[in-house]
């Protein structure tokens, strides 16, 4: 043994492998980065010890991550999809949005939000392809004391009745189909026309789809309309309204469903009301009140 070389760090040993790796982190690393790195290494080593992978299994895991990276483009983020189907996106969201009871709960943003959509007047029909069962959404925005919030900006988006977002079918759907942006009035009210949302599969032609099939899982999201609500002085709400009769409510592939977000979609058959909306009967209606809590600035309470 060459005793002239000074050993600062312990050599690798299976028993305390994570501690040995973490001991290499430099002294000047900022505490949050150190905490994150140490925690990830500790849990990763524990998982590897528990699983005891063969070399082939470990290489398969590395190939899966490589394929996931290779699937990513400017408009396809396969790692977010992976985080979604593993429930991690919803977990991170839950940790960061622990709201008072009355406030509308968040759910997953998803990859199909588009920034910069122009404002539309109340009552606009955002369905431009004429497919699906007509729906009128009558909604309002209030604070947690029940006061209306005027001037809230509300982005709305959903798939068409074939189960695709406009951005997934650029040559097929009219531009901006099933997308709108509204501003709440002095009573906190906004409303628009659309179509009843349907269930649809998340993009499953990549490694995440393969993983779902390998795990005996389907790729379907429960039928929903997306909402992003921003108002000065209030926490932004990113949420959905879910259709109550969807067969995937209890098994949404990205775990986005919350009981409080299931809407009361009512089938309507009043010919006068249909006429006033420019709809045929039957059509659907849903009422919804979004409740925003005032933004409170916390000191950073993380380790
Ligand atoms: C969505 O609801 O648009 C969505 C959410 C997660 C993954 C894919 C799509
Ligand atoms: Fe969606």
Ligand 1 atom having least distance to the Cα of 226: 2
The reported pLDDT for the residue numbered 143 is: 97
CB 236 within 8 A of CB 230: yes
Q: Please report, for the chain, how many H helices and E strands are present, in that order.
A: 7, 10
pLDDT of residue 75: 82
* CB 69, CB 79: distance < 8 Å: yes
CA 200/CA 223 separation, integer angstroms: 7
Minimal CA–CA distance to 191: which of 242, 142, 126, 270?
126
Substitution site in 109, 254, 256, 261 for ligand 1 pocket (most atoms within 8 Å of beta carbon): 254
Q: What is the pLDDT of residue 55?
A: 98
Pocket test for ligand 1, best of 112, 169, 199, 217 (most atoms within 8 A of CB): 112
Q: Which amino acid residue places its CA nearest to atom 5 of ligand 1? A: 110
What is the 106 CA–ligand 1 centroid distance (Å)? 14
Q: How remote is the CA of residue 229 from the centroid of ligand 1, in Å?
A: 18
Q: How crowded is residue 6: how many other Cβ atoms within 10 Å of its Cβ? A: 5
Minimum CA distance residue for ligand 1 atom 9: 110
Q: In order along the chain (303 residues), what is the average pLDDT of each group of 10 residues?
A: 69 96 96 98 98 98 98 92 97 90 93 96 98 98 97 98 95 96 98 98 98 98 98 97 97 98 97 96 97 81 68
Is the minimum distance from the CB of 163 to ligand 1 under 6 angstroms?
Answer: no
Judged by its nearest atom, the ligand closest to the C-alpha of residue 79 is 1
Instruction: Tell me, using a 6 A CB cutoff, whether residue 84 lines ligand 1.
Output: yes
Q: Express each pLDDT in 27-71 by its tens digit.
A: 999 999 999 999 999 999 999 999 999 999 999 999 999 999 999
Query: Is 295 in contact with 144 (CB distance < 8 Å)?
Result: no
Q: What is the Cα–Cα distance from 284 to 20, expressed in whole angstroms?
A: 62
CA of 113 to the centre of ligand 2 (A): 9
Q: Environment class of residue 134 by beta-carbon count within 10 Å: exposed (0-12), middle (13-18) or buried (19+)?
A: buried
pLDDT of residue 4: 63
pTM for the model: 0.92
Establish whether residue 221 lines the binding site of ligand 1, counting it when its CB lies within 6 angstroms of any ligand atom.
yes
Q: Is 285 helix (H, G, I), strand (E, B) or coil?
A: strand
The string of DSSP codes covering 190-230 is EEEEEE----EEPP-SSHHHHHHHHTT---EEPPEEEEEEE
Q: How far is the CA of 239 from the centre of ligand 1 (A)?
A: 12
pLDDT of residue 6: 73
Would you call 160 helix, strand, or coil by DSSP?
Answer: coil
| pLDDT recorded at residue 178 | 98
Residue 199 Cβ inside 6 Å of ligand 1? The answer reads: no
Euclidean distance between CA atoms 256 and 222, whole angstroms: 8
CA 270 to chain centre: 36
């Amino acid at each position: 043994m060459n005793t002239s070389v000074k050993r600062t760090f312990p050599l690798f040993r299976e028993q305390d492998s994570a501690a040995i790796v973490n001991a290499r982190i430099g002294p000047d690393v900022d505490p949050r980065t150190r905490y994150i790195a140490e925690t990830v290494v500790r849990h990763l080593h524990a998982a590897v010890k528990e699983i005891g992978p063969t070399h082939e299994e470990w290489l398969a895991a590395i190939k899966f991550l490589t394929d996931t990276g290779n699937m990513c483009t400017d408009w396809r983020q396969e790692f977010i999809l992976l985080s979604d189907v593993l429930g991690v996106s919803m977990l991170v969201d839950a940790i960061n949005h622990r709201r008072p009871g009355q406030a509308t709960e968040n759910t997953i943003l998803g990859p199909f939000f588009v920034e910069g959509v122009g404002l539309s007047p109340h009552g606009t029909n955002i369905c431009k392809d004429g497919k699906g069962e007509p729906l009128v959404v009558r909604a309002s925005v209030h604070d947690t004391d029940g006061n209306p919030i005027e001037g809230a900006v509300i982005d709305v988006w959903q798939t068409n009745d074939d189960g695709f977002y406009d951005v997934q079918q650029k040559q097929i759907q009219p531009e901006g189909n099933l997308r709108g942006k509204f501003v709440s009035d002095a009573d906190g009210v906004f409303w628009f026309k659309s179509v009843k949302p349907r269930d649809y599969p998340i993009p499953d032609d990549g490694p995440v789809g393969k993983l779902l099939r390998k795990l005996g899982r389907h790729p379907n999201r429960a039928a929903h309309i997306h909402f992003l609500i921003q108002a000065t002085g209030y926490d932004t709400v990113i949420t959905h309204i879910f259709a109550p009769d969807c067969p995937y409510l209890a098994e949404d592939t990205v775990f986005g469903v919350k009981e409080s977000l299931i809407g009361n979609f009512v089938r309507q058959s009043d010919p006068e009301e249909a006429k006033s909306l420019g709809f045929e009967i039957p059509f659907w209606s849903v009422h919804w009140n979004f409740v925003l809590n005032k933004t409170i600035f916390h000191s950073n309470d993380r380790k």
